[in-house]
C-alpha cells in the first residue's frame, strides 16, 4: 500500500550503519536529517547510499534561491536522492530546490503541514492548501503531510493530483499505520523503529502496509 521510510535520527555513525544494515530489507528509503549529519558528518550519506537504499535529506531547506541551490547541490552530490524543502520562503526558493533535484535526477518534497501539536499555530487557515498550490506551480514532486491528522492528508491529496505524499507521525507521535497507509505514498517512521531493541523486527511490524 505504501513505502516505509525509516527516519534515522540517531547521532552516531556506528549506530546508524548498524540499524540501516539490519533494516535494509524491510524499509524502502531512509530519511536523514540534522541529528545524524551533525553527529556523524555528511559522509554518512555516502555510506548509507552504498547500501542501495534511497536516501531522503530532511534539511527542510528554507533560504533565498541562490542559497537553496547551493544547499541542494551539496545534498545530491553527497548521495541523497530526494530533499525536503520549506515553502514559506516563496516559489522562487522552492523552484531552486526543484531545479537542483531534477538536474541531479532526484526529487523535491515540500512541507505542507507538520505533524506535531504546535504546527497548527502557523500551518492553519488555508496555509497548507496554498502550499499545495505552490507545489503544483513549482513542479515539486510531492508534499510532507501529517500522519497524526489523516483527514488533513485526504484534504491535501485532492489539491496535488498525482504528486506524492510522504507522511511522518506514525509510531511515536501516535499516527495509526492502518489508517494512514492507504492515503500516502510513504509512511515515515523514526523512533518506533530506530529506538527499538530489535529495529529490524520493529520495521517488520509495518510489513502488512507496504506495497
Ligand atoms: P518519529 O520519531 O516521530 O520521527 O517517528 C519523525 C521524523 O519525521 C520528522 N518529522 C517531520 N518532518 N514534517 C517534516 O518534514 C513534519 O510534519 C514532520 N513531523 C516529523 C521528524 O523530524 C523526524 O525526523
- pLDDT (tens digit per residue) in 75-104: 999 999 999 999 999 999 999 999 999 999
Q: Known catalytic residue: 198?
A: no
Q: Known catalytic residue: 58?
A: yes
Q: Return the pLDDT at 1.
A: 82
Residue ranges of the annotated binding site are 9, 31, 115, 190-191
Residue ranges of the annotated binding site for substrate are 9, 31, 115, 190-191
Q: Return the pLDDT at 183.
A: 97
Give me 44's grid cell.
554518512
Question: Counting Cβ atoms within 10 Å, is residue 151 exposed (0-12), middle (13-18) or buried (19+)?
Answer: exposed
Write down the catalytic residue from 26, 28, 50, 63.
63
Instruction: State ipTM.
Output: 0.95
Distance, CA of 53 to CA of 181 (rounded, Å): 20
Q: Return the pLDDT at 175.
A: 94
| The pLDDT of residue 40 is above 90 | yes
Q: Which residues pair with 166 in a beta bridge?
A: 144, 186
Can you list the alpha helix ranges (DSSP code H) found in 41-174? 44-49, 65-77, 91-103, 127-138, 150-160
- Which of 79, 29, 22 minimizes the C-alpha distance to 54? 29
| The pLDDT of residue 178 is above 90 | yes
Write down the catalytic residue from 58, 92, 176, 185.
58
The pTM of this model reads 0.97
Whether ligand 1 lies within 6 angstroms of the CB of 100 is answered as no
Neighbouring residues of 203: CB distance < 8 A, sequence distance ≥ 6: 4, 6, 23, 26, 27, 189, 193
- pLDDT (tens digit per residue) in 152-174: 999 999 999 899 999 999 999 99
Q: Return the pLDDT at 25.
A: 97
Q: Known catalytic residue: 50?
A: no
Q: Return the pLDDT at 123.
A: 85
| The pLDDT of residue 33 is above 90 | yes
Amino acid at each position: 500500500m505504501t513505502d516505509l521510510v525509516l527516519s534515522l535520527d540517531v547521532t552516531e555513525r556506528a549506530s546508524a550503519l548498524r540499524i540501516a544494515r539490519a533494516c535494509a530489507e524491510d524499509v524502502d528509503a531512509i530519511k536523514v536529517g540534522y541529528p545524524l549529519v551533525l553527529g556523524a558528518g555528511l559522509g554518512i550519506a555516502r555510506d548509507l547510499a552504498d547500501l542501495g537504499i534511497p536516501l531522503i535529506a530532511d534539511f527542510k531547506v528554507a533560504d533565498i534561491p541562490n542559497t537553496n541551490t547551493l544547499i541542494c547541490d551539496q545534498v545530491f552530490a553527497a548521495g541523497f536522492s530526494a530533499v525536503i524543502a520549506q515553502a514559506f520562503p516563496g516559489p522562487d526558493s522552492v523552484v531552486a530546490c526543484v531545479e537542483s533535484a531534477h538536474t541531479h535526477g532526484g526529487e523535491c518534497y515540500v512541507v505542507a503541514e507538520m505533524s506535531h501539536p504546535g504546527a497548527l499555530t502557523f500551518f492553519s487557515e488555508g496555509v497548507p492548501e496554498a502550499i499545495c498550490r505552490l507545489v503544483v506551480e513549482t513542479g515539486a514532486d510531492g508534499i510532507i503531510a501529517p500522519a497524526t491528522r489523516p483527514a488533513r492528508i485526504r484534504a491535501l491529496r485532492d489539491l496535488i493530483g498525482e504528486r506524492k505524499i510522504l507522511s511522518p507521525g506514525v509510531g511515536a507521535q501516535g499516527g495509526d499505520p492502518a489508517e494512514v497507509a492507504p492515503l500516502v505514498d510513504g509512511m515515515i517512521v523514526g523512533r518506533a523503529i530506530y529506538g527499538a531493541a530489535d529495529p529490524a523486527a520493529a520495521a517488520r511490524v509495518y510489513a502488512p502496509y507496504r506495497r
